């Protein structure tokens, strides 16, 4: 009986939708992080000075993140209205074409527009994939299944880094777009969620109504807390890793810090953390405890990163790995976002929540730049981090627990 159950669980976890969702997120992360990795060499090749690279790079990143914010709403609504699979196809096609076009860019303004379009496309992959996997897996496997999707998918950041090491930045964009187009062919065998199909024919049910998040104070509060939980993850990536060269210079790290390498090592840890988070949640019988534990690890790592007085490149990159493990609750918090809401709003929530978090990077980088006018680089980073972690811990401690929740319900 035990052997049969283990085989049955394994078959669920290795089903085509789970595998394809993982590969889809792999390509998504490759393309999403590629600009952060090629930011300096690509802008240098466009003739920008070192001073302009910092400001223009932050601006392009903000355009990309703004695209993610808008795309999150667009694809989330479509996911609940038209189905999870339609979002997966549409989002992949959008960001693949945009990334191929990035390989031909010749000026910063065009670069901003194309990264914005890529951001819109990249917004749909994770939320739709997590929603689909959450709805087709048995509830005792949901956390492990979504962690596998994210853990495998996040390895795309590592591949992106080594692709840039082996090829020039333009070729890296071409490869990313090509991987997306190839992935479309793999989507053919994926089936739609049965839970969604059950409500699809019920015309009286409002599906994908984004404004429903604002019609109930209790539902709006749940939604904000889902976003708040994820903010420390993008503080680590969007501030500490992306601007690692600035922190490294201020700290006097010998040889300096390469942002692309910092991002890559952070994602190595993030992949490990995401794989572990599902099993931790499964063992603790709690989503919240797993998220809190990992968030606390990332908080300690952030303190050491900023105030530990580390001077060695090796030690800083090793710390990026630890920081990545700590923010490895990414898949878990997206899963919580999916589990918080009914089937008629689930894709909208799961798709908008992570992209709202990514969109907060615009505020983080703006605050970081503002604080640098009055404080040191280290102090500016610490102030932004303090805000993000305060919101993150509060949201995690006060949001409803969703472990073992039945997902076959509706938002009225």
In tens, the pLDDT along 328-340 reads: 998 888 889 888 9
What phi, psi does 259 have (nearest 5°)? -55, -40
Rounded Cα–Cα distance for residues 108 and 142 (Å): 42
Checking if the pLDDT of 185 tops 90, the result is: no
For the stretch 32-49, pLDDT in tens is 878 878 888 999 999 888
Average pLDDT over the chain, rounded to an integer: 86
CA quadruple 259, 264, 270, 272: dihedral sign: negative
Percent of the chain surpassing pLDDT 90: 41
- Structure tokens belonging to residue 306: 């900023």
Summarised one tens digit per residue, pLDDT across range 153-170 is 878 888 888 898 899 999
Of residues 118 and 151, more confidently modeled: 118
Residue 406 has pLDDT above 70, yes or no: yes
The number of angstroms, rounded, from the C-alpha of 145 to the middle of its chain's C-alpha atoms is: 17
355 or 333, greater pLDDT: 333
Tell me what pLDDT residue 375 has.
94
Name the pLDDT band for 2 (thresholds 50, 70, 90): very low
Domain boundaries, the chain: 16-189+210-398
* Cα–Cα nearest to 168, from 45, 265, 28: 45
pTM to 2 decimal places: 0.80
Q: Which two tokens stand for residue 134?
A: 């959450």
Q: pLDDT per residue over 226-251, tens digit each?
A: 999 999 999 999 899 989 999 999 99
Question: What mean pLDDT do residues 302-306 have?
Answer: 96
3 state DSSP class of 249: helix
Q: What is the pLDDT of residue 3?
A: 43
CA 16/CA 81 separation, integer angstroms: 23
CA-based nearest residue to 17, from 181, 197, 186: 186
Q: What per-residue confidence (pLDDT) applies to 1?
A: 40
Q: 7 pLDDT exceeds 60?
A: no
Contact 6, 140 (CB under 8 A): no
| Residue 289 pLDDT | 94
16-189+210-398 folds as Growth Hormone; Chain: A; (1.20.1250)
Q: What is the DSSP letter of 400?
A: P
Q: Which residues contact 77 (CB under 8 A, 6 or more apart)?
A: 208, 209, 210, 348
């Amino acid at each position: 009986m035990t052997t049969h159950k283990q085989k049955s669980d394994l078959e669920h976890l290795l089903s085509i939708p789970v595998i394809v969702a993982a590969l889809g997120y792999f390509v998504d992360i490759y393309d999403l992080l590629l600009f952060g990795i090629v930011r300096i060499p690509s802008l240098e090749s466009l003739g920008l000075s070192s001073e302009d690279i910092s400001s223009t790079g932050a601006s392009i990143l903000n355009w990309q993140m703004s695209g993610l914010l808008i795309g999150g709403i667009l694809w989330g609504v479509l996911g609940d209205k038209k189905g999870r699979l339609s979002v997966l196809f549409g989002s992949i096609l959008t960001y693949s074409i945009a990334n191929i076009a990035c390989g031909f860019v010749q000026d910063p303004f065009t670069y901003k527009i194309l990264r914005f379009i890529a951001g819109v496309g990249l917004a749909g992959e994770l939320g739709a994939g997590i929603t689909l996997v959450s709805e087709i897996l048995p509830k005792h496997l949901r956390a492990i299944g979504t962690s596998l999707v994210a853990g495998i998918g996040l390895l795309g950041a590592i591949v992106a880094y080594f692709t840039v090491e082996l090829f020039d930045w333009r070729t890296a964009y071409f490869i990313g777009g090509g991987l997306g187009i190839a992935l479309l062919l793999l989507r053919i065998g994926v089936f739609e969620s049965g839970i969604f199909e059950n409500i699809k024919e019920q015309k009286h049910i409002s599906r994908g109504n984004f404004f429903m998040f604002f019609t109930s104070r209790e539902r709006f509060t749940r939604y904000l807390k889902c976003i708040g939980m994820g903010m420390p993850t993008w503080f680590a990536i969007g501030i500490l890793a992306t601007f690692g060269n600035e922190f490294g210079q201020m700290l006097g790290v010998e040889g300096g810090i390469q942002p692309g390498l910092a991002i890559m090592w952070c994602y190595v840890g993030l992949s490990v953390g995401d794989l572990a988070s599902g099993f931790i949640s499964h063992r603790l019988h709690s989503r919240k405890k797993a998220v809190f534990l990992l968030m606390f690890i990332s908080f300690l790592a952030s303190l050491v990163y900023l105030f530990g007085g580390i001077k060695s490149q090796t030690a800083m990159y090793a710390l990026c790995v630890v920081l990545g493990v700590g923010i490895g609750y990414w898949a878990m918090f997206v899963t919580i976002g999916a589990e918080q809401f009914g089937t008629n709003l689930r894709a909208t929530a799961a798709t908008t929540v992570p992209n709202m978090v990514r969109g907060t990077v615009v505020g983080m980088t703006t605050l970081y730049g503002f604080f640098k006018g009055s404080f040191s680089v280290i102090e500016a980073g610490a102030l932004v981090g303090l805000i993000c972690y305060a919101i993150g811990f509060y949201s995690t401690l006060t949001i409803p627990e969703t472990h073992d929740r039945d997902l076959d319900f509706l938002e009225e």
